[in-house]
Amino acid sequence: MKRVFLGLLLFVMLFIVSACTGKDTDRETEQLTEDTSTSFESDTAMPIEDDAEETENQETEMIDMGIFDFETKKVMLNSGYEMPIMGLGTYALDYDTCVSSVKALLQNGGRLIDTAYMYGNEDAVGEGVRQAMEEYGIPREDIFVITKIYPSQFDDPEAAIDMALDKLDIGYIDMMLLHHPGSGDVKAYKAMEKYVEKGKIRSLGLSNWYVEELTNFLPQINITPALVQNEIHPYYQEQDVVPFIQEKGIVVQCWYPLGGRGYTSELLGDETIKSIAEAHGVSSAQVILRWDLQRGIVVIPGSGNPDHIKENLDLFGFELTEDEMEQISVLDRGEKHDWY
C-alpha cells in the first residue's frame, strides 16, 4: 500500500513538472513566433517603402520628360539630359559668319546650336563654342551642340562620327542625328549607340523621319531617339506627325521654323501673324517661334544677324492665347519648302 501511495505521488509530481515545462516551452515558441514576425515585418517594411518611393520618382520623371520648363527654358530628354528649347540653326553659314553667330547666341543667353556634316561648318561651330567658353566663362556642360551624319556616310559610320568629334573639338557631342533615312541607316544608328556607351555622344536622334519611317525604324534599334527634327512652320504644321512623335516620349524640333530661305518674307508678312504680333508688341518671327514652343516644339531658327539672333531668344515675355494659337493653326497649307 505504501509503495502504491509513493508511486502515485511520484506520478503527480512528474505531471506537474511536465505541465510547467510545457507552458514555458509554449511561451518560448510564442515569443519566437512574435520575434520572427516582427523581424520579418521590420526587414520588409523599408524595401516596400523604398520601392514605392522609387516608383513615384520614376512616374514623376516620366511626367516631366518632354515637358517644356519655361522657367529654365529647357526640356528633359528621354536620355536623361536636359536640352535648351530654343537655339540657333547654322545651315548655309560660312566659317566666319558661323563663328560670330555662335558667339552671339551664347553671349545673349542661348545655349543650343545645330550643325551637320553637310553644312560644312562643324569646325566653325566648335571654334565659336571654344571662343565663347573662354571669353564669356560659359561651362561646356551648359552648351548643347547637335550635329548629323549624312546617308553618304552610313557605309562607314564610325569614321563619320570620329570626323565630327575631331571637327567640333569640344570633347563630346551632346546629340547626333541621322540626317535623313537612307540605305544603312539602322547600321549607322547602332554605331552611334556604341559611342553613347563610350560617352562620346550623349543623346541620339533623327532628322526628317515621319510616321511611316519611324514605325519601320524604331523596332530595329536599342536606344529610343531623344529627338526627331523636321521641317515645321505655320504653312507646314505636321499636325498628325508631331503628336505621334511626342506620344512616344520623343521631343520634336523644327528646322525652317520661319519658312526657310525664299519663303520667310511671305510668312512673316502673313496678315494673321502680323496682327497677333502687333497685339503683343513683338515681331512676327517671335510670334511664330512662341507658337512652336507652346506646341512643345524646340526651335532652331537660322540667322547670321546678331540682332535677329538676340530677338529670336526673347520669347518669354508674352504668351499666345488659345484663340491666337487656333488662328495660326488654320494657316496650315501642307506646304513643304524642302524635299526632306
Residues 185 and 277 in one domain: yes
What are the C-alpha distances in Å from 312 to residues 25, 89, 92, 265, 284? 83, 11, 18, 16, 10
Which residue has 546617308 as its cell numbers?
Answer: 151
* CATH number of the domain to which 230 belongs: 3.20.20.100
Residue 261 banded pLDDT, cuts 50, 70, 90: confident
Residues 293 and 185 in one domain: yes
pLDDT number for residue 64: 78
Residue 340 banded pLDDT, cuts 50, 70, 90: confident
Buried b (16+ CB within 10 A) or exposed e, 219-252: eebeeebbbbbbbbbbbbbbeebbebbbeeebbb
pLDDT number for residue 13: 46
Residue 25 lies in a domain: yes
pLDDT number for residue 41: 36
Residues 175 and 277 in one domain: yes
pLDDT of residue 219 exceeding 80, the answer is yes
* Phi, then psi, of 96 in degrees rounded to 5: -65, -40
Residues 106 and 220 in one domain: yes
Which residues does residue 76 pair with via DSSP β-bridges, in sequence order?
65, 82
pLDDT 10s digits, 166-207: 999 999 999 999 999 999 999 999 999 999 999 999 999 999
Residue 136 lies in a domain: yes
Residue 338 lies in a domain: no
The whole-angstrom separation of Cα 192 and Cα 208 is 17
Residues 59 and 82 in one domain: no
Residues 252, 246: contact at Cβ < 8 Å? yes
Which residue range is the domain that position 34 belongs to? 1-64
Residues 109 and 18 in one domain: no
Domain count, the chain: 2
Residue 4 banded pLDDT, cuts 50, 70, 90: very low
Q: Please compute the mean of the pLDDT values over residues 2-6 and round it to a whole number.
A: 43
Lowest mean pLDDT among 43-57, 90-104, 248-262, 320-334: 43-57
* Phi, then psi, of 166 in degrees rounded to 5: -70, -45
Catalytic residue among 81, 95, 117, 119: 119
pLDDT 10s digits, 282-299: 999 999 999 999 999 999
Residues 38 and 181 in one domain: no
Residue 31 banded pLDDT, cuts 50, 70, 90: very low
pLDDT 10s digits, 62-100: 557 899 999 999 999 999 999 999 999 999 999 999 999
pLDDT number for residue 63: 53
> In 10 A of CB 306, how many CB atoms?
15
Q: For the chain, what is the radius of gyration of the CA atoms?
A: 32
| Boundary-marking domain end, from 45, 64, 83 | 64
Which residues does residue 302 pair with via DSSP β-bridges, in sequence order?
89
Residues 306 and 193 in one domain: yes
119 is catalytic: yes
Residues 152, 126: contact at Cβ < 8 Å? no
Residues 87 and 2 in one domain: no
Residues 6 and 149 in one domain: no
The whole-angstrom separation of Cα 214 and Cα 31 is 63
pLDDT of residue 239 exceeding 80, the answer is yes
In this prediction the pTM is 0.83
